[in-house]
Structure 1
Amino acid sequence: MPTPPARPKLLLFDVNETLLDMSKLQQAVNQEFNSEFAFKQWFSLLLQYSLVDTVTQAYHDFKQIGDAALDMLAQSLGQPARPATRKQELLTLIAELPPHPDVVEGLTMLQQAGFRMVTLTNSPGSTLRKQIAYAGLTSFFEQLLSIDDVKRYKPHPDTYLTACQQLGVVPADALLVAAHGWDTGGALRAGLQAAFVARPGQATYPLAPAPTYTGPTLSDIAGQLVGH
């Protein structure tokens, strides 16, 4: 029998798609560009070029890259670039997203079980604070951490290791909760534990280590952690 993982002392939560339901933004982007795939293409560009910045040792915040990705999306679809004011209207929606239906229950279970919880997101700190306040989740988290200070995007190992260092926890005692295979893979490669929330349309990366925990909802993940 394999040795069960140590009970984590710190839980790090990804925010976009993991905690927050991005359907409202998805519908707005798809409608704006008259394509049912526009949002997925835009979000993929946002992630891709955040990693381009990290690999090439440049840095623009997530909002700047999101703006540029809207221009790239328009160009790839053969459409005119949107005015700055329209792009701003679309990007503002990222701070006005509700939590997934299972999130409050899952966070409540974990909070009542005594887990330390913080966020760790690629969004800028100012956006993150608006997101968590809008979703009514502020009271669950000890700190709201962004990659802003490190200026390297997840899944660069420095993002996870710096968060652990700031909170006085060794990587093996920290667990990242995310709905993205690239994020759980990054955390595991950095020596953390990871829980994959299998949101619809998401998948783990087969060439990365398997997540420590996997479940369809945050409540399911919480049940596994609390029962550990």
Structure 2
Amino acid sequence: MKKQRPKVLFFDVNETLLDLAPMKKKMAHVLGGNGNLLSLWFTTLLQYTLVTSASGRYKDFVDIGAATLQMVAANHGMALTKKEARQSVSSSLLSLPAHPEVKGALTALKKAGYRLAAFTNGSNEGVKAQFEFAGLTDHFEERLSVEDAGKSKPFGEAYEWAARTMNVDPEDCMMIAAHGWDVAGAQWAGWRAAFIERPGQQLFPLAPRAEIVETDLMKVADILIEYR
């Protein structure tokens, strides 16, 4: 029996839609050529995004990225000024290409009648620039940023705000993401979820199993198009 379609598909942006390979290459250079520090920086970035949000504060994703880059660099004997760190993060984050299958998958989903919304921890200005660079602007009905929610993903309030903004109930939402923490947060907020197994990404074993698990967005789209 075919499954019922979600009313709105929400897409994470970085790594889910956009390829982080150029950013990783640049940030490895900033960190003295030590590519092993990249995963530590990403983990620290997420940690302090959560700390900021849990404390009732909001900081731009680039600001947190720059601050945590300074922290990781300092712990490994490298000094980066605030300006240097912010420039490094901003310039690399805002010039990322889409993964090869993304545009075709989004076009197919839109043609099939789905409502598509981007939903990012990045800023409004940042995701606008990212989509303009990657050529994704016209594929989405809305670009949603947690900047307007006041809470970052994976806080439940962020998903609740996104559902209200798109005027749908939580059970009619599906989060599509390449991050286990985003998929888990969405499911615990009452959403459905699809997980894209980008290299190095895993589902959180303590969260419910995602409804769809595939290796790229086109494969996810093929399944969703078959829903009734």
Would the TM-score normalized by the shorter structure come out above 0.5? yes
Separation of aligned partners in 1, 2:173 and 2:2: 15
Q: Does 1:12 align with 2:10?
A: yes
Which consecutive unaligned segments of at least 5 residues does structure 1 have? none
Alpha-carbon RMSD across the aligned residues, in angstroms, is: 1.4
CA distance in 1, matches of 2:203, 2:225: 23
1:198–1:215 Cα contact (<8 Å) kept: yes
Look up the match of 1:29: 27
| Separation in structure 2 between the aligned mates of residue 184 and residue 25 of structure 1, nearest angstrom | 23
Question: In structure 1, how many angstroms separate the alpha carbons of the residues matched to 2:84 and 2:201?
Answer: 31
User: Alpha-carbon deviation of 1:91?
Assistant: 2.2
Measured after TM superposition, the shift of residue 161 of structure 1 is: 1.1
Distance 1:221 1:113 in 2: 13
> Which residue pairs with 1:96 in the alignment?
95
1:222 Cα shift?
Answer: 0.2
Give the alignment's TM-score, normalised by structure 2: 0.95
Query: Structure 2: which amino acid aligns with 1:114?
Result: G
Counterpart in 2 of 1:162?
Answer: 161
C-alpha change, 1:16 and 1:149, in structure 2 (3 Å) is: same
Q: What is the TM-score normalised by the length of structure 1? A: 0.95
Which range is displaced more, 81-90 or 127-136?
81-90
1:8-58: CA deviation from partner (whole Å, max 9, x where unpaired)? 010000000000001111001111212012222221111110001112222
Most deviating of 169-178 and 39-48: 39-48
The Cα shift of 1:4 comes to: 6.2
Residue 151 of structure 1, CA deviation: 1.5
Q: Distance in 2 between matches of 1:25 and 1:167?
A: 31
Instruction: Tell me which residue corresponds to 1:227.
Output: 226
Runs of 4 or more, structure 1, over 2 Å off, are 3-6
User: Counterparts in 2 of 1:1-228, with a 5 A limit?
Assistant: 5-33=3-31, 34-82=33-81, 84-85=83-84, 87-228=86-227
> Which structure 2 segments of 5+ residues have no match?
none
